[in-house]
Structure 1
């Protein structure tokens, strides 16, 4: 197969900005596609596959080509994709034949090289997960499927399947998750359908969190770290839009996006965005029947979806995040009524961000653990998540 020079250079440039400037891969791709509207579906797919797989397999590709230069890593990835390396592509490293021959030697390399992860994350995974780390890491290196959540305020799952089929999109039900659909491998949802409001892109693991909150019609629910509100909208749907969901965040841009999404989803009468300020916990003291703290975390459960994250994350950052998690569980439960339900969630698979944080809260008294729900990538094929549901002891 032959490739176009402009596309090859674009892929290499994006990969370089991700590795050298620690740019976010998704954002860089979106910007490049916006700036080059003439690129067709196949062009965009070639660029996306190149940069995602180079980010996913950076160290393994580096071993194959004996170089850390982005141009060389791209060349190694193209060999894996079945392309011939064009004569005009200059890089320091091995030839296509040498790259293919070296694949056999990859199995004998240390796990951090073989599975392409920074040494410190590999050591952390072993320390926290022991023997389970191998399987979880392998699962996190698989390509992510696109999962959808059917918005039951606007449609039903069978009707959504039929509606998508009208656009030649095959979506199948996900067992055990009543509102979830999964697209065929490699398939995406066009932007026009993403903006329709009948379905939301939401990983299946993420769809396990709102049901654990168990919101009831007529209640007041606070989603205390809502971001753009995927879980807020799920909570509203479970409540049949009867009651109030306060989507709170420190980022006003994300809250503006939540407002737009709530309108599309027919949830705008139920979902209200609130920017978090110094007085928020006092203003909302004992207001919530249910409180969701979807805490900032390492995001290590989402590596299949954002493989560039493992190269951006640093140990000091992880320490800071653990501090934030503890602080949120110190302050935010003040917004929950006595007898109310608290759900703490992360998209991390590390016990130090999950059960250890809950144990600290339990040790202080005032809460009873009801249920824990870890979502294992290796067991489910979903992103990695953790959630614990607790009851605030009556006063």
Structure 2
């Protein structure tokens, strides 16, 4: 299929037969993460230094984005873990700290999409297909990178179509104790517009990590060797394209959106990117990811569907014209292969929505044409089929009123020594009768969103 260079085929195949290494990153505020990493180095990495049979811990190639070397890879087999008491202690420590939210165990290549988004504390961020939450947690960590500002003005909206997976999201993300995230349960291809006092929200950053055939996870899920067939990609491509299209519609001018999959199939990858670039011509552009991740080994995106896949491809999956393909610059996408960094396989493309106010090079004719194209691609919320009946109905959130603050919050705050400047009006609970049992605190930005969008839940 020409997905792997000929001179790398043997190394690629050999890597697929090996178990996937353990990868983890230390999470939290800087001073806290440095303390945790120091403990790991001093107490748990020592057995590796004197061993001749165990590979030493390997710092991830792109961990320069994690100051203090906070992302690591351990190439350990189950037999090694069982036979070494020191390694068993490391395993137990990793499990324990994962439960406490100090460590996140995450496949190395899946850390890349949030990294290339260059998230800042003021950004409004959407994670369209968020479960099981490893990337969502990474985004929240980036949002809180400024330790002097514990409650940033930005926020994360994490969405998933599956209600049970949304509860998994809650379980995973609540460990970070951030007041700046909310979880939605909607079909990502039909996400409703979220309202604020200034109008509908357009997001500064969007992570579009879509459902895929998953053939890039063969090392982690060996059962896929028996189940995989090339037709899986064709059946998923339409929903992938619809989700990514809705993502572009929700992206603010000048904003960035990552499209990613753990698939090696170009029908799920470059074909979707190609369709997006043609549909939103003049409104979005591909960005060079290699500039953001120097030192990361990868191969460029493909420009054409391999010949032996042509029978599986519908006409609209790739542009019929070579001239158009040249203009799309699909080589700016990146493909990560298992033998490059001893990881799974992954595909990443980074889009930027063009800010017309900053682009003075457009002629009046071009601007009118692009405006007409943009109007044709506006999401029709009234005509959308949200299929709300499929979703589990949740009790609404109710924010504390003055009577609640006087009735019982005053006693709680005095008992725990909470400062009088604490914004008690940003506390909420599920139902009025539950007020004193489960209390949640959110940022003022999220309070506004929850209050103005109660019709969505």
TM range, normalised to the smaller chain?
A: 0.5 to 0.7
Aligned with 2:286 (options 364, 369, 374):
369
What's 2:342 paired with?
A: 381
Rate the CA distance shift 1:335–1:250 in 2: closer, same or farther, 3 A: same
The answer on whether the counterparts of 2:233 and 2:267 sit within 8 Å (CA) in structure 1 is no
Match of 1:260 among 160, 164, 171: 171
Cα offset, 1:164, TM superposition: 3.8
Q: Secondary structure at the match of 1:337?
A: strand
Pick closer, same or farther for the CA change 1:235–1:362 going to 2, 3 Å.
Answer: same
Answer whether contact 1:346 1:386 (CA < 8 A) is retained. Answer: yes
Residue 96 of structure 2 corresponds to residue 192 of structure 1: yes
Please list every run of 5 or more consecutive structure 2 residues that lacks an aligned counterpart in the other structure. Answer: 47-56, 82-89, 145-150, 289-332, 357-457
The aligned residue for residue 131 of structure 2 is: 227
What SS does structure 2 have at the residue aligned with 1:338?
strand
Alignment partners' CA distance in 1, 2:24 and 2:342: 15
Whether 1:271 and 2:181 are equivalent positions in the alignment is yes
TM-score (norm 1): 0.62
Q: How far 1:222 moved relative to its partner?
A: 0.3
Q: Find the counterpart in structure 2 of residue 282 from structure 1.
A: 193
The higher relative CO (CA closer than 8 Å, separation ≥ 6) is in 2
The answer (yes or no) to whether the contact 2:234–2:267 under 8 Å persists in 1 is no
| Aligned 1:246-395 pairs, distance under 5 A | 246-267=157-178, 269-277=179-187, 280-283=191-194, 286-364=201-279, 365=281, 366-371=283-288, 372-394=333-355
1:174 pairs with 2:84 = no
Q: How many residues align?
A: 269
In the aligned structure 2, how far is the partner of 1:167 from the partner of 1:259? Answer: 32
Q: Does the residue aligned with 1:211 lie in a helix, a strand or coil?
A: helix
Deviations 1:233-270 (A, max 9, x none): 11111121632011111012222122222221233x12
Distance 2:59 2:5 in 1: 33
Q: Aligned partners of 1:342, 1:203: CA distance in 2, in Å? A: 21
Q: Could you give the per-residue CA deviations for residues 156-209 of structure 1, whole angstroms, max 9, x where no partner exists?
A: 554333444687466553243123112341257333332121011111111111
Q: Can you list the C-alpha shifts for 1:60-98, whole angstroms capped at 9, x where unaligned?
A: xxxxxxxxxxxxxxxxxxxxxxxxxxxxxxxxxxxxxxx
Q: Find the counterpart in structure 2 of residue 245 from structure 1.
A: 156
CA contact (8 A) 2:337 2:346 kept: yes
Deviations 1:336-394 (A, max 9, x none): 11221111011122333222221221122121111233322111111111111111123
Inter-CA distance 157–388: structure 2 relative to 1 (3 Å threshold): same
- Give the Cα–Cα distance (whole angstroms) in 1 for the partners of residues 138 and 225 of structure 2: 28
Residues 80-95 of structure 1 aligned to structure 2 (within 5 Å): none
Q: Using the alignment, how far apart are the partners of 2:11 and 2:4 within structure 1?
A: 10
Residue in 2 that maps onto 1:140: 16
Long gaps (5+) in structure 1: 1-125
Give the direction of change, closer, same or farther, for the CA distance of 1:299–1:167 in structure 2 (3 Å limit): farther
Matches of 1:159 and 1:384, distance apart in 2: 32
Residues 155 and 385 of structure 1: is their aligned pair in 2 closer, same or farther, counting only changes over 3 Å? farther
Tell me the distance in 2 between the aligned counterparts of 1:209 and 1:155.
25
Decide whether the 8 Å contact of 1:281 with 1:332 is kept in 2.
Answer: no
Report if aligned partners of 1:149, 1:207 keep a CA contact under 8 Å in 2: no
Describe the SS at the equivalent of 1:207: helix
